[in-house]
Amino acid sequence: MTSLLTYTFKNLPNTSKWALRFCMRPLSSSSQVQAAAASQTKSKKTLAKPNIRNIVVVDGVRTPFLLSGTSYKDLMPHDLARAALSGLLHRTSVPKDVVDYIIFGTVIQEVKTSNVAREAALGAGFSDKTPAHTVTMACISSNQAMTTAVGLIASGQCDVVVAGGVELMSDIPIRHSRKMRKMMLDLNKAKTLAQRLSVISKFRLNFLSPELPAVSEFSTSETMGHSADRLAAAFAISREEQDEYALRSHSLAKRAQDEGLLSDVVPFKVPGRDTVTQDNGIRPSSLDQMAKLKPAFIKPYGTVTAANSSFLTDGASAVLIMAEEKALAMGYKPKAYLRDFMYVSQDPKDQLLLGPTYATPKVLEKAGLTMNDIDAFEFHEAFSGQILANLKAMDSDWFAQNYMGRKAKVGLPPLEKFNNWGGSLSLGHPFGATGCRLVMAAANRLRKEGGQYGLVAACAAGGQGHAMIVEAYPK
């Protein structure tokens, strides 16, 4: 493993002193031995529970994640979702009529397709007898879709569920102002010409100013980037550290892409355009280049920039979740078990993005695991500053004691196991679709790198958070 790491770092043209620091660590601590030792002495052999159905991910796919305003810009969200569903059908060859239920997560809803799961499923050729619903929970919407599926299967309501997520930031619903809407509705009700004229006479020019979907937290009126900048400052994380982390994410993503590790990506023939085969937001740059950018939120002295934040992304993802016995009966070789999961929430103002810190120890304790048991960490990277703040929070006794009601710190996930194939910073972050990507990345990494347990964690608007244990399916 060490050799693998050092090898790849040697081959990265943009490796900085940061990367060096990371390759130093495994060398000096001979993690190979440790990792080997750790995999043999897991706290638990498996997380299977008596009298509860084992739930597996058969496989999962996603469309390439693209920067908003690029190849997907003329599509509608259900088009993207349909692409993910078709891709999943193609990849797994699951008979359409076996699917009991379909759940999708999305954040910014297209009002025409507010139940985007249903619209996409119909178009993808699923049986019109398969019900579908859409969930929303900000950046953990598809996590919610998956855990809803887990619930349906565990309770015996369903055996086969497709869960996914979609986001199309290239087009967002921009509305007329409330005043204009009110006038238009009144006009609808007006019967006579006189009534209509009296409604129209109330028109003022400022009615025409449009209403954009809020980019800020409703409860605090603060944008997420602004909150991330404050969070980074609260944990005294410098601009350099953030840029270095972003560079790491892009470098690792680039490597994963080049080595063909991102196997969940399925090509998508965009109508009227070329076939899209890979993510287009991966741009390893240099620290010098990144240092030139101006702060994007707290001007002029903030530390969060376009380069160390995740970008607006279009994309969709879908996974096929089944009861284990059903999957085996159908002759599938599942990729992973979905095990314990946890949702948390905290102060949406000052701890907006600290969800992973709160969710991680809880889900580990629930599963009876320790940090050492985890072989693959897949954390959602909203901002470099957010990831680093979460790492610092997990490494702080003070924070654990004063804000989490714990006696001691959560502990630091080892970075050599952390988002090794890139993350949302580099691969992109279509809000509603990221959760499935995280789970598939964890599952695929466990298969590729070896190891038994993966931990998926993410923060979300509203001060919420999620974590889930993914257990590799025995080969």
Site of interaction with another protein (CB under 8 A): 218-221, 226, 229-231, 233-236, 298, 301, 347, 349-351, 389, 392-393, 396, 398-399, 402-403
Catalytic: 23? no
**Residue among 23, 139, 158, 436 flagged as catalytic:** 139
- At closest approach, how far in Å is the CB of 241 from another protein? 14
269's CB contacts (< 8 A; 6+ apart) are 275, 276
- At closest approach, how far in Å is the CB of 395 from another protein? 9
Q: Which is nearer to another protein, 404 or 443 (CB)?
A: 404
- At closest approach, how far in Å is the CB of 345 from another protein? 15
- Containing 197, the helix (H) or strand (E) segment is helix 193-200
C-beta neighbour count of 349 within 10 angstroms? 14
Cα separations (Å) of 140 from 184, 343, 431? 36, 10, 7
Q: Which is nearer to another protein, 110 or 350 (CB)?
A: 350
Catalytic: 459? yes
Q: Which is nearer to another protein, 72 or 245 (CB)?
A: 245
- At closest approach, how far in Å is the CB of 406 from another protein? 14
Q: Which is nearer to another protein, 171 or 395 (CB)?
A: 395
Q: Which is nearer to another protein, 182 or 349 (CB)?
A: 349
| CA-CA-CA-CA torsion sign (330, 446, 396, 32) | positive
Give the single-character DSSP code of 137. B
- At closest approach, how far in Å is the CB of 220 from another protein? 7
CA–CA separation, 399 and 361 (whole Å): 13
Tracing tokens 């970075």 back to the chain, one arrives at 415
| CA-CA-CA-CA torsion sign (124, 126, 132, 135) | negative
Strands 453-460 and 464-472: antiparallel
DSSP codes, 180-219: HHHHHHHHHH--SHHHHHHHHTT--GGGGS-BPPP-B-TT
End-to-end CA distance of the chain: 20
**Residue among 23, 158, 436, 459 flagged as catalytic:** 459
Q: Among residues 433, 462, 416, 443, which one has the least CA distance to residue 144?
A: 433
Active site (catalytic) residues:
139, 459
